[in-house]
Amino acid sequence: MASSSTARARRREERRKKRLHAERQRRDGSPTEEAPPPKSKLREWFDALVFAFVVMLIVRTLFFDLFKIPTPSMEKNLLVGDFLFVSKLHYGTRLPMGICVPFTDLCVPGVRFPYTRIPGFSEVQRGDAMVFNYPPEDKMVDRKTHYIKRVIGMPGETIEVRDKLVHVDGTPLPLADGMQQNWKVLKENPRVLLSEARLAAVGARELRLEQQYPNGLLYTTRDQYERLALVQGTTAAVQSLQELPYVQAVEPAVAAPHPYYSAHLYPPGRGFTPDNYGPVRIPAAGLTVSLDEETWPLYEPVIRHYEGHTTREVAPGVYEIDGAPATSYTFAQDYFFVMGDNRDNSEDSRFWGFVPMDHVVGKAILIYFSKEPTSFVPRFSRFFKPIQSTASAN
C-alpha cells in the first residue's frame, strides 16, 4: 500500500510540474528556439553585395541607366569622357525582351518577350538627347549597343538637308547652341595662317583639308583652294572669325556628290551626301505608304528588320510582304530621325536610317561626372550639369 501511495504521489507531482510548465509557456509565449550561430564577416559582406547588386539591377532596369560618351559625335554639348544619367521614366520603361545574364549578351536561346513599355510622363521631343539601341546590329533589341544622338525628325515628318541646313517639313532648323560643323574660311592671302590661339579662344579648331575631304569631296574652286582653311566650330565661333581683317568669307563646307557617299548613306544609291540629303519621310505608327521603285529601297529594310515581316522584290515595282502581293504598307510603330551635334563627325540616321520606338532606351538628363578622355583628370565644371534640349531651335 505504501508503494502504491508513493507512486500516486509521484504521478501527481509530475502532472503538477507539467501544468506549471504549460502555464509558464502560456504566460511567456512560445519557447524560443536556439539562436542561430552568428554570421561571419565574409558572409555579411557577401549578403550585402548581393542585396546591393539586386537593388542596382532593379533600379537600372526600371528607372535609369548610366552612359559614357565614347566619341566626339555630340560635341560641343557632350564631350568624350562625360558620364550621363539616362532617365527611363521620361519615355516609359521598356521591359526586358528576353532572359539574359545582366550586363552581358548571354541570353536563353529562343526565349523572346514582346515589346512592352510602361507609360512614361513625357513623349519623345525634337531636340532631346536620346539614348537608343543601335538599330543595324544583329542582336536582340535590348542587347544592342547604346548610342546617343539628338532627335531631329519626328514620326511622319519629312527631313531634308540642303547645303548643311536641316529642313523639317520645309522649315529650316538652324544649328542650336553647342552644335558644330565644318566651315570654309576664305583668306585674302594664302600665306596668312589662322591664329591657333584665336581659334582656341572661341572653341574652334583648324582641320587638315586633305584628310577631311580627300579626292574632291568638297565643293570649291582651284583659286579658293589655295586660300582656303577648314575650321570646325559652332556658328558663334565662326562669326567671330569673320571679324578678322584677313578673312574674306566664312561659309559652310558642303560635301560634293561622290560614289563613296552614294554607297554609304541610307538608302544607298540615291546620290545623297551628308550635306544634301533627302527628302525622306519618317515612318509613323498608322502611316500608310505606297510601295514603288522610289519608296521600296527606303522602307523595305524597315519593314523587314523592325516590323518583322518577310519581303521580296518579285520584279521592278512588284513586291511581296509575307508572301502576299503588296502595293502599300501601314507601319506598326513610330520612328525617329537622329543626328549628332557634331554634324561632320557623326554616324547617324543619314548613314543607317531611322530609330524605331522599340529601340529607344531613355532621355539623357544629367552629366554626373566628367574627366579628360586620355587621363583621369576630372572636369569639375561639368559635374552635375543638366543636359539641355535644343527644341527651342525650332
Q: What is the DSSP string of 55-102?
A: HHHHHHHHTEEEEE--SGGGTBTS-TTEEEEEESTTT-PBPPSS-B-T
Q: Is residue 105 part of a domain?
A: yes
Among the listed residues 52, 127, 58, the one whose alpha carbon sits nearest the alpha carbon of residue 93: 58
pLDDT at residue 216 greater than cutoff 60: no
Domain assignment present for residue 68? The answer is yes
Calculate mean pLDDT across residues 164-172: 97
User: Are 321 and 308 within 8 A, CB to CB?
Assistant: no
pLDDT of 210 reads 64
pLDDT in tens, 261-273: 889 999 999 999 9
Q: What is the pLDDT of residue 3?
A: 57
pLDDT at 277 over 90: yes
Query: By percentage, how much of the chain surpasses pLDDT 90?
Result: 58
Q: Which of 177, 187, 178 is nearest to 241 (CA)?
A: 187
* Average pLDDT rounded to a whole number, residues 100-114: 84
Phi first, then psi: what are they for 147, rounded to 5°?
Answer: -120, 160
Confidence tier at 221 by pLDDT (50, 70, 90): low
| pLDDT tens-digit series, residues 128-144 | 999 999 999 999 999 99
Percent of the chain having pLDDT more than 70? 88
Q: Quick check: 203 and 237 in contact, CB under 8 A?
A: yes
Total number of residues shown for the chain: 394
pLDDT digits (tens, 9 = 90+) for 44-86: 788 788 877 787 778 777 788 999 999 999 999 999 999 999 9
pLDDT in tens, 85-96: 999 999 999 999
1-44, pLDDT tens digit by residue?
Answer: 555 667 676 777 777 777 776 676 666 655 555 556 777 778 77
Q: Give residue-wise pLDDT tens across range 281-326.
A: 999 999 999 999 999 999 999 999 999 999 999 999 999 999 999 9
Residues 202 and 237 in one domain: yes
The answer to the question of residue 254 being in a domain is yes
CA 69/CA 348 separation, integer angstroms: 15
Q: Work out whether strand 64-68 and strand 360-370 pair parallel, antiparallel, or are unpaired.
A: unpaired
283, part of any domain: no
Count: domains in the chain: 3
Beta-bridge mates of residue 320: 312, 325
Grid cell in block for residue 349 = 540616321
- Mean predicted confidence (pLDDT) in 178-196: 84
Q: pLDDT at residue 202 above 50? A: yes
Distance CA 156, CA 10 (A): 96
Residues 151 and 212 in one domain: no
- Rounded mean pLDDT of the chain? 87
Q: Does 181 map to a domain?
A: yes
Residue 141, domain CATH: 2.10.109.10
Q: Which structural domain range is residue 366 located in?
A: 58-157+335-394
Q: Is the pLDDT of residue 378 over 60?
A: yes
- 242: domain CATH number is 3.30.70
Question: Residue 50: inside a domain, yes or no?
Answer: no
d(CA 378, CA 146): 24
Comparing 344 with 222, the larger pLDDT belongs to 344
Cα 305 → chain centroid: 19
Q: What is the average per-residue pLDDT within 182-195?
A: 81
> Residue 393 — pLDDT band, cuts 50, 70, 90?
very low
pLDDT at site 19: 73
- Tell me the C-alpha distance between 98 and 121, whole Å: 25
Within a domain: residue 64? yes
For the chain, the C-alpha Rg in angstroms (whole number) is: 33
Predicted pLDDT at 88: 96
The answer on 270 and 192 residing in a single domain is yes
Q: For the residues 200-220, what does the mean pLDDT come to?
A: 70
Nearest alpha-carbon partner for 192 in 159, 226, 162, 147: 226
Q: For residue 394, what pLDDT band results from cuts at 50, 70 and 90? A: very low
Q: How far is CA 1 from CA 8, 9, 12, 15, in A?
A: 11, 12, 17, 21
Q: Is residue 7 part of a domain?
A: no
